[in-house]
Amino acid sequence: MASGSWIGRSVERVEDGRLLTGRGAFIDDHPPVSNLSHAAIVRSPHAHARIRGWDASAALAMEGVVGVITGRDVAASCKPFGVGVTAPVHYYPAATDKVRFVGEPVAVVVARDRYLAEDAAEAVVVDYEVLPAVVDPEKALEPDAPILHEAVGSNLAGHRRLVYGDPDRAFAEAEVIVRERFRFPKYASTPIETYGVIARWDGLDGVLTVWSNFMGPFIMHPLVARVLGLPENRLRFIVPPDIGGSFGIKSSIYPYLALIGLAAMKLGVPVKWIEDRREHLLASSSGTDRVAWREVAARNDGTIVGMRFKWFDNVGGYIRSPEPGCSFRPTGNFVGPYRFQNLEVDASVVMTNKSLTGPNRGYACGHLYFETERMIDLLAERLGLDPVEVRRRNLIDRASFPYRTPTGGLYDSGDYAATLDKALVLAKYDELRREQARARAAGRYYGIGLALAVDPSVSNMGYVATALDPQFRAKPEYLPKSGAVDSATVKIDPLGRVIAILGTTPQGQGHQTIVSQIVADELGVAPRDVTVVDEMDTFTRVWSISSGTYSSRFGSVGTSAVALAARKLKAKLVEYAAHLMGVTPGEVEFRDGGVHRTSGKATPYSIKDLAGRAHWNTESLPEGMEPGLAATAVFGFSVARAVDAEDRVNSSNTYGFIAEVMAVEVDPDTAAIKIVKYVTVHDAGTIINPMIVEGQIYGGALHGLGGALYEELAYDDDGQLLTGTFMDYLVPTASEAPDIEIAHVVSPSPLTTLGSKGLGESSSMTVPAVIANAVSDALRPLGISITELPMTPTRLHDLITRARSSASEPRPPRSGHPRPEPASPTPLQ
């Protein structure tokens, strides 16, 4: 196979052999240490209560029990986790004084096996003084709301008002203003593998080793070390080769790394804890539920001149890092694919008695684009324009790349109009509109929706500081943050076989396959000649605080590091071969898996040949060349800068693009939604393995559909979770999965080594928008506009019933329907 030909092909995955035959190595599979004891976590049954005391005596007397640690031990031995805001929120791995959500850990029981641990967990007595709870973010900011954190004084964890351009003027001069209020639900990813942690304390050496399916970011390593009072070089995180899905959720496992680590340290035995599904639904992590108010200012021709965003993001009982990323992760791409320059963002992060939040596939972008794309449709409706036209009029054009957004984002490449056109052609948009006309004439409810999204990947750590006031960031003692880094090592053994070593933590993305393709191309070998080791161990891998597999990073930053490492090694081989041939490196070239003379006759050196000589006879190396055939590259982005004084930040490093069209039919009698057509076109730059890329899209799309129609961590007013089982938390099955037509546009990124961008979150961020637009379009004859997800049959039925009963009364003509803006509370500072 000629070099350069593996990238772009749907190479079968090397991971599959072991996974298909039951030989995967997941955290629960192979105990890395013997004599494990097993933990069960005692959790709060109350949403809000003060803890008066713990009594573990009955539990300690039970069969097989090794020991119990309670919040009292946690308070005595741990520091609270650092949080991303200045509000004094003290978040510990288990509750120390109060519980603030149902399912919050209050004690850990360790026993000979999990069955016995669960028996004893039931016997731990916690004395609670139950307090009133609040779960709604708007209610939580009312003056008489119960306060979760007395030290904070209110339930507002943080508030920022960000202003870009001159939004007031844009709104004053607007020819049309559209306003709407939205609700986005709290949903999660519920990977089929739950969290798992194994901790061993080596008291003599003072080393705590923690195995877990933690996926990064490894900023959490120093954070956990600090909580446990350990020097960082005495805390070792190891991640097994296989993780059973994450979609962002497993980044929030870190409090348990500390909690189970503490149990191992206190009790002196290695401890294993596998989260069960009930625990996972109650207390792992989810996206935020959000109440949002939107305003769009536009001209009559559909040109958008400004927007106002305002939202309350509900982060649950504590604000856990990396929150408030829920509000700020998309800062650089707040404007999406549109050109407008004037924006005001009023972001409040609110704490209520619900479980905690964190990254969930599409982190914050599902919210953002649901609101924006609904607004564009509402604007189009108000102006009597086709929603395609309104979008087209506002798109950033191809000539503008790299494009600096008013909020500081640097869109690296793209062709938004061409991508949209491709989606329209593939969906046969005009034909869909004709079909809609026929359906409407027949009294059927058929609708077409569009959604566009700039798909950010590789978060720049620096965005987190957007949550802080510029005055705070201006203080001399403040340390600015920025970066997105990954490393890779490529080495060649004495027989010429290649091994690539990564410290990423894949959860099904096929990193081994992709790396083998990249290295094969770089070194002119076949992928099967490249062994890829992809296991994280903080003691042995080169890593940085941004390391890990999240934020769709691998496709840009991990691949770049691998390609660079291979190139470094290749350069060394070239130099070595030239030396052997007695010529200068300029006179040779690397091709077809060996080094050849550019001109003139000389026997080429194959990699195998060079490897043998280099390993066996270091004397043959040129003067000054380091022995060994290994190269490590660390790749980072120079465009990852800290947030500036005007709150501008390039919050991600590469930016893909998504254009989608969906057609649905709604059965008005049952409120069932049928997806008739769904087209999604992606621009993720260079595609390394189309099969894997499309796999991410299928998965992301169904996840978005889950959030739009099925999934919700719903609570009652007392803070009890109503969907605490898989019977009630509805993960879509194969029967709910729609047919998806996928196409690509390729605008290579100028910033990455191979031109690739990330795509792991993909359509999870567009589906809520596209289906809400399609359903709203279907139900337009009834005057229905979707502003709240999930669109459960009951909710939709209520809307239809209300619309039909008001239709039988004389109805005022519908005018783009700006509902009066709610008396929006000005968040306290």
Residues forming the site for ligand FES (CB under 6 A): 192, 245, 508
Q: Give least dist CB 223 to ligand FES, A.
A: 28
Contact range with other proteins by CB under 8 A, out of 220-228, 452-460, 701-709, 743-751: 701-709
Closer to ligand FES at the Cβ: 28 or 113?
28
Cα distance between residue 252 and residue 258, in whole Å: 12
Helices (H) and strands (E) in the chain, counts: 21, 29
> CA-CA distances (angstroms) from residue 8 to 689, 751, 755?
5, 19, 12
Residues 332-361 that bind other proteins (CB under 8 A): none
- Taking the complex as a whole, how short is the minimal distance between the CB of residue 725 and other proteins, in angstroms? 6
Answer for which of 8, 28, 426, 470 binds other proteins (CB under 8 A) is 28
Q: What's the CA gap between 188 and 212, in Å, rounded? A: 20
Token duo for residue 405: 């957004």
- Shortest Å, Cβ 733 to other proteins: 4
24 contributes a contact to other proteins by CB under 8 A: yes
Q: What is the DSSP letter of 401?
A: -
Answer yes or no: are the C-beta atoms of 361 and 247 closer than 8 Å: yes
Asked if 185 and 360 touch (Cβ cutoff 8 Å), the reply is: no
Decide: is 717 part of the binding site for other proteins (CB under 8 A): no
Spatial distance between the Cα atoms of 10 and 693, rounded to a whole number of angstroms: 9
Considering only residues 275-334, where is the footprint of other proteins by CB under 8 A?
Answer: 276-278
Tokens of 474: 């201006």
Candidates 144-152, 189-197, 251-259, 365-373; binding stretch for other proteins (CB under 8 A): 189-197
Matching residue, tokens 């566009």: 452
Q: Which is nearer to ligand FES, 15 or 377 (CB)?
A: 15
- Would you say 245 or 470 has its CB closer to ligand FES? 245
Which residues, in sequence order, are bridge partners of residue 631?
Answer: 490
Phi first, then psi, for residue 418 (nearest 5°) are -65, -35
Q: Is 586 exposed, middle or buried (0-12, 13-18, 19+ CB in 10 A)?
A: exposed
Asked if residue 793 binds other proteins (CB under 8 A), the reply is yes
Shorter beta-carbon distance to other proteins: residue 245 or 781: 245
- Confirm or reject binding of residue 669 to other proteins (CB under 8 A): yes
Looking at this protein, which amino acid is placed at residue 17?
A: G
From the number of C-beta atoms within 10 Å of its C-beta (0-12, 13-18, 19+), residue 61 rates as: exposed
Q: Which is nearer to other proteins, 714 or 778 (CB)?
A: 714
Paired tokens of 330: 């998309």
CB of 222 or CB of 793, closer to other proteins? 793
Give bridge partners of residue 289 from the DSSP assignment: 314
Residue 34, interface with other proteins (CB under 8 A)? no
For other proteins, the binding residues in 223-262 under the rule CB under 8 A are: 242-245, 247
Could you check whether the bond before residue 324 is cis, i.e. omega within 30 degrees of 0? yes
Dihedral sign for Cα 332, 334, 340, 343, please: negative
| Residue 805 sits in the site that holds other proteins (CB under 8 A) | no
Cα(131)–Cα(112) distance, rounded to whole angstroms? 36
* In the complex, minimum distance from the CB of residue 508 to ligand FES, in angstroms, rounded to a whole number: 5
Say which entry of other proteins, ligand FES, none residue 278 contacts (CB below 5 to 8 A, set by partner kind).
Answer: other proteins
Residue 162 binds which of other proteins, ligand FES, none (CB < 5-8 A, kind-dependent) = none
- Least separation, in Å, of the C-beta of 231 and other proteins? 34
Backbone angles phi, psi at 621, to 5 degrees: -75, 150
From the list other proteins, ligand FES, none, which binds 698 (C-beta under 5 to 8 Å, kind-based)? other proteins
**What would the two tokens of residue 36 be?**
């494990």
CB nearer to other proteins: give 17 or 268: 17
Residue type present at position 744? H
Task: Write down the least CB distance from residue 115 to other proteins, Å.
Answer: 4
**Which of 209, 327, 507, 747 is close enough to bind other proteins by CB under 8 A?**
507
Select the binding partner of residue 805 from ligand FES, other proteins, none (C-beta < 5 to 8 A, by kind).
none
Residue whose CB is less far from ligand FES, 160 or 272? 272
CB of 274 to other proteins, least distance (A): 8
Helix (H, G, I), strand (E, B) or coil at 777: helix
Beta carbons within 8 Å of 268's beta carbon, 6+ residues apart? 201, 203
**Residue 792 interacting with other proteins (CB under 8 A):** yes
Give the nearer residue to other proteins in terms of CB position, either 629 or 701: 701
Cβ 87 to ligand FES shortest distance, Å = 37
Where does this chain touch other proteins (CB under 8 A) — which range of 222-230, 274-282, 343-351, 485-493?
A: 274-282
Could you tell me which of 688, 375, 370, 380 has the C-alpha nearest to residue 554? 688
CB of residue 667 vs other proteins: minimum separation in angstroms? 9
